[in-house]
Amino acid sequence: MGLYNIVNAASMVAGQPEDISQVLANFQAIQAVLNGGIDNSNINAAAAIAYSKIALPANAVTTQQFTTSGASGTYTTPAGCRAIIVELWGAGGGGGGCPAGVSGSYICGGGGAGGTYSRAYIANPAASYAYVVGARGSAASNATGGTGGATSFGGSLVTAPGGGGGGVGTAQTTAGSLSAAGGIPGAAGNSPNGISLTGSTGEQARSTSPGVGGLTLGGTPGGNGGGVGIPVGFNNSGPTGQQGAGGGGAGSSTGNPAQAGGTGGAGMIIVTELY
């Protein structure tokens, strides 16, 4: 539809009354516009129509979540979606393991670091984006925890590196002595029109306590939490981290076999669609 005149000058003839059918047709067209039958060509930028006057569909905001460890695939932008908010968590690092217990000592592995959190706003999104969800940081008996996998969306458009693994434990006989270092967080990621926060550092392990991972899942700078430490004297592997969290360090004491730390939490992607 274009602009409308009440009288179509082309239908006028000198000395004759105007074409009533044409006038009526123009009035009906104007009525249709006033009743909501309006298209983009009838809106002038200078009109400054208040956003509150525009009715949005019931599904104006939709959230999709991908949580599978190591998953990769393609996100397809729904029809009518005008922008997306993408949140990424890199995977957590694995907790450090420890060797077999040595007489008179405790051996504890360090906690894995949390993965990076990145949040980006993408206006006029493309038709599709490839994504990868970071795999959990591995953990093995008597070994340093593995680094968590990086999570990405649209290749290098939005990225969130994984956290580093906790150190392998060494035997200590003095209470409070350092047994293993905690995992080191990955770098900040790419986050167009948004933010990126590195993960929490894994907790150091001492002879009186195995290491734990980071603190809370995405709630603090450095986001993404970790597992709970194993009490002294227990012969257990470390706990597994939640999404984006570092795994807990293992603990072993006199006469007990080598133990593995907990695996890190898998990465995660959340896409919020704006219509």
At residue 11, the pLDDT reads 60
By the 8 A CB rule, do 150 and 134 touch? Answer: yes
**Per-10-residue mean pLDDT for the chain, 275 residues long?**
53 59 71 69 72 63 69 90 91 89 81 91 95 92 93 96 92 82 91 91 78 46 36 50 82 82 88 88
Tell me the two tokens of residue 273: 């669609």
Q: What is residue 181's three-state secondary structure?
A: coil
At residue 206, the pLDDT reads 79
At residue 155, the pLDDT reads 96
Distance from chain centroid for Cα 25: 55
At residue 69, the pLDDT reads 65
pTM, full prediction: 0.73
| HSE-CB of 85 using CA atoms within 13 angstroms | 9
By the 8 A CB rule, do 98 and 167 touch? Answer: no
